[in-house]
């Protein structure tokens, strides 16, 4: 006997609801892990800064810091005018495209956009 349309719709809705719940639990669990990792990263940056070192090796892996540039929009109107006037649409995502903006800012100023530097952490094993 084959399943009826109502039976298939019922099963589909049940599967969709199960999938939604599994996805929610996954996101919650991953979010907790990401928050714990971010806390450790902040603490490691502080410790390395206090020791005045760029990195060090441990039995579990190597931790190092580097300065990374990223664009900061000070004035969206000016940036968008620049993009339109110069056809630089490759700068746009839902945010400023980091690598492209750094490259272009190293060639010259973009009105309303500047570079900022922050220390980032790398852990390798």
Whether the per-residue pLDDT at 40 is higher than 80: the answer is yes
* Average pLDDT for 53-73: 93
Whether the per-residue pLDDT at 120 is higher than 70: the answer is yes
Percent of the residues in the chain that have a pLDDT greater than 90, as a whole number:
74
State pLDDT tens for residues 73-116.
999 999 999 999 999 999 987 778 899 999 999 999 999 999 89
Average pLDDT, the chain: 91
15: left (phi over 0), alpha (psi -120 to 50) or beta: alpha
* Average pLDDT for 4-27: 93
* Average pLDDT for 60-73: 92
pLDDT at 1: 64
pLDDT at 35: 95
Whether the per-residue pLDDT at 48 is higher than 70: the answer is yes
Percent of the residues in the chain that have a pLDDT greater than 70, as a whole number:
95
């Amino acid at each position: 006997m084959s399943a009826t349309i109502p039976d298939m719709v019922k099963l589909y809705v049940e599967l969709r609801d199960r999938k939604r719940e599994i996805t929610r639990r996954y996101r919650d669990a991953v979010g907790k892990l990401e928050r714990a990792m971010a806390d450790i990263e902040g603490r490691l940056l502080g410790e390395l800064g206090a020791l005045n070192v760029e990195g060090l090796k441990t039995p579990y892996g190597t931790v190092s810091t580097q300065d990374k540039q990223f664009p900061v929009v000070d004035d969206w109107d000016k940036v968008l005018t620049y993009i339109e006037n110069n056809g630089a649409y490759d700068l746009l995502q839902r945010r400023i495209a980091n690598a492209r903006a750094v490259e272009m800012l190293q060639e010259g100023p973009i009105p309303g956009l500047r570079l900022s530097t922050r220390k980032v952490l790398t852990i390798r094993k």
